[in-house]
């Protein structure tokens, strides 16, 4: 089987220094920036994930750029998965090297299916060029990431902008203090579908918390989302029964997720053993 998972707010989390100290050995440092801790993982989540990698293929799937993914040393340097998807599906690492064929394919699909970025900037800047936007980044020549003051962000204006951008082939996702604007063709689900084909069509278990993870959860055979984040809030507002959610929220949602992956994989393996040859 394949276990494909989002990272931030699904398996790894930032924590205030006081809470990190309080949790002690229950959490592990996942990422450092200039010697300072940026994110953590639950120790139980890490131990189960490490064990699972002996039985299935773990694929990190993140909106982070390649450089930002590689910064997560606990995953990129210690667990060292063979496959990783970065840039929201726009880039793929196999054995630590960029898959240039996939990179070219995604960029071709963006040109075919989404309005040019110059047109997007006009729509975007009419709303986002405000004093509540702290910074804006054009990531990997693929999508925008904006850091904002969330409590000052005009929700209705963002909603209206999202609808307009959707008609132009771009998605908007608000995750905490970040607003992502991404072409439809830059998709986590498409990237994992491609890897699934490379890996002989194995069954996929997926996890993720945001609207940008929706395509990933939707192509999976089994899916679970944390009891927090965009998907969880969407479910509270408009119940659909579409996704399974963890009972835990926050950093220990990762424990529920990896427990679900373990039990699902075990059940799948039992079914394979029972099947007649």
What's the rounded Cα separation, in Å, for the pair 1 and 203?
5
The three-class DSSP label of residue 89 is helix
| Contact call for residues 75 and 60 (beta carbons, < 8 A) | yes
Asked whether residue 191 falls in the same domain as residue 234, the answer is yes
The range of the structural domain enclosing residue 71 comes to 2-106+186-274
- How many of the other CB atoms lie within 10 Å of CB of 107? 16
Q: Assess whether 128 and 162 both reside in one domain.
A: yes
pLDDT of residue 176: 82
**Pair 101, 198 in one domain:** yes
| Average pLDDT over all residues of the chain | 95
**Do 126 and 170 sit in the same domain of this protein?**
yes
Q: Which residues pair with 205 in a beta bridge?
A: 3, 222
If you search the block for the tokens 């993870």, which residue do you land on?
213
User: Same domain for 168 and 240?
Assistant: no
Same domain, 144 and 176: yes
CATH number at residue 22: 3.40.50.1000
Q: 131 and 244 in one domain?
A: no
Q: Identify the pLDDT of residue 272.
A: 80
**Closest alpha carbon to 144 in 65, 69, 59:** 65
Chunked in runs of 10, what are the mean pLDDT values of the chain (277 residues)?
Answer: 98 96 97 96 98 98 96 98 98 97 97 96 90 94 94 93 97 90 96 97 97 96 96 93 96 98 94 69
Domain identity same for 78 and 98: yes
User: Within this chain, do residues 159 and 47 fall inside the same structural domain, yes or no?
Assistant: no
Q: Domain count for the chain, please give it.
A: 2
Last residue of a domain, one of 166, 183, 200: 183
Torsion sign across C-alpha atoms 23, 27, 28, 31: negative
At 170, which CATH number? 3.90.1070
**Same-domain status, 101 and 213:** yes
Q: What are phi and psi of 90, to 5 degrees?
A: -75, -25
pLDDT at 275: 62
Residue written as token pair 């002690």: 24
Per-residue pLDDT, 175:
84
Task: Name the domain boundary from 159, 183, 207.
Answer: 183
Contact 182, 162 (CB under 8 A): no
Q: How far is CA 178 from CA 63, 78, 273, in A?
A: 11, 28, 45
Predicted local distance difference test score (pLDDT) of residue 276: 56
């Amino acid at each position: 089987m394949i276990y494909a998972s989002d990272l931030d707010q699904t398996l790894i989390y930032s924590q205030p220094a006081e809470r990190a100290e309080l949790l002690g050995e229950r959490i592990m440092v996942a990422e450092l920036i200039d010697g300072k801790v940026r994110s953590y993982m639950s120790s139980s989540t890490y131990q189960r994930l490490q064990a699972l990698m002996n039985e299935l293929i773990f694929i990190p799937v993140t909106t982070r750029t390649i450089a930002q993914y590689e910064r997560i040393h606990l995953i990129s340097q210690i667990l060292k998965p063979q496959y990783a998807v970065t840039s929201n599906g726009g880039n793929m690492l196999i054995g630590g090297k960029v898959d240039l064929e996939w990179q070219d394919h995604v960029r071709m699909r963006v040109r075919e299916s989404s309005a040019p970025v110059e047109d997007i900037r006009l729509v975007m800047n009419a709303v986002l060029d405000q004093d509540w936007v702290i910074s804006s980044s054009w990531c990997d020549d693929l999508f925008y990431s904006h850091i904002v003051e969330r409590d000052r962000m005009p929700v209705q204006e963002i909603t209206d902008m999202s609808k307009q951008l959707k008609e132009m082939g771009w998605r908007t996702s608000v995750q905490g203090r970040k607003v992502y604007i991404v072409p439809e063709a830059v998709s986590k689900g498409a990237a994992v579908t491609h890897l699934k084909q490379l890996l002989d069509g194995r069954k996929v278990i997926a996890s993720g918390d945001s609207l940008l993870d929706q395509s990933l959860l939707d192509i999976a055979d089994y899916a679970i989302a944390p009891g927090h984040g965009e998907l969880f809030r969407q479910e509270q507002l408009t119940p659909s029964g579409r996704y399974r959610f963890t009972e835990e929220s926050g950093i220990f949602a990762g424990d529920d997720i990896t427990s679900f992956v373990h039990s699902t994989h075990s059940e799948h393996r039992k079914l394979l053993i029972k099947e007649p040859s």
